[in-house]
Amino acid sequence: MVKFFMKIFFATIILIFSFQSLTKSDDVTSFELEGISIGNSLLDYFSEEEILKNKRNYGYKNKEFYAVGIDKQLEQYDSVDVHLKTSDKNYIIYSITGATFFEKNINECYKKKKSLTNELKSMFSNIELKQFKKNPMDVDKDSTKESTYFLFENGDYVKIQCYDWSEKITKEKNWIDHMRVGIAFREFRVWKRN
C-alpha cells in the first residue's frame, strides 16, 4: 500500500514539473510523458524492432494511425500508448497517453484529476477548456468517463480522464478503473473522432 501511494506521489510531482514546461511556450511538444514528447521520433527511444514488436491492435477501422504499447521500465505510469502514422518510416509520435490504474479506488483518481486540472488551469489563460462526463464507448450504462480537455488554438490538446468501469465490466473484461493523461496533435484528434 505504501508503494502505491509513493508511486502516486512521485507521478504527481513529475507531472507538475512536466506541465510547468508548457507555460513557457503554450506548445504541446514541450510536454513529456515518461520522457517522451509528441513530434519526436519513437526511434529516439526504442529500436525499430521494439516498436514493431509492441504494436497494439485496437481494431481501428481507419488504419492511418496505429498504437505502440510501452509497459516496461515506466516510472510515472502503469502503461503508455503512443500513436504513429502507418505510412511514416520516421516513426513520428502524434499522440502519447499514460495510464495509471486505480483498482477499487476511483475516488483517488478523481482527486488526482482535479489536482492536475487545477494546476493546468493556473498555467494557461488563453486556452479552451472542455469538461464532460459520459458513458465511455457505450460499453454499459453504469460505466463512466470524466474528461477534461485543454484545447490549444491550433487544435492540439492535453487531456486528463478518469474511467470508472462498472462491476459487470470489471468482471467480464477484467478492465480496471484508471486515469489517462495524454497529449496529441490536432491531426490525430480529428482522425480519432472520425
Helix axes 2-22, 106-123, angle to 10 degrees: 20
Q: Where are the alpha helices (DSSP H) in the chain?
A: 2-22, 48-53, 106-123, 167-173, 186-193
What is the per-residue pLDDT across 128-159, written as a single tens digit (0 to 9) for each? Answer: 889 988 876 656 788 899 999 999 989 999 99
CB 85 within 8 A of CB 94: yes
Could you list the residue range(s) of the whole structural domain that residue 186 is in? Answer: 2-193
Q: Where are the alpha helices (DSSP H) in 81-125?
A: 106-123
How many domains does the chain contain in total?
Answer: 1
pLDDT level of residue 2 (50, 70, 90 thresholds) = very low
23-32, 65-74, 88-97: which has the highest mean pLDDT? 88-97
What is the per-residue pLDDT across 57-78, written as a single tens digit (0 to 9) for each? Answer: 998 999 999 999 998 889 999 9
In Å, how far from its chain's centre is CA 139?
20
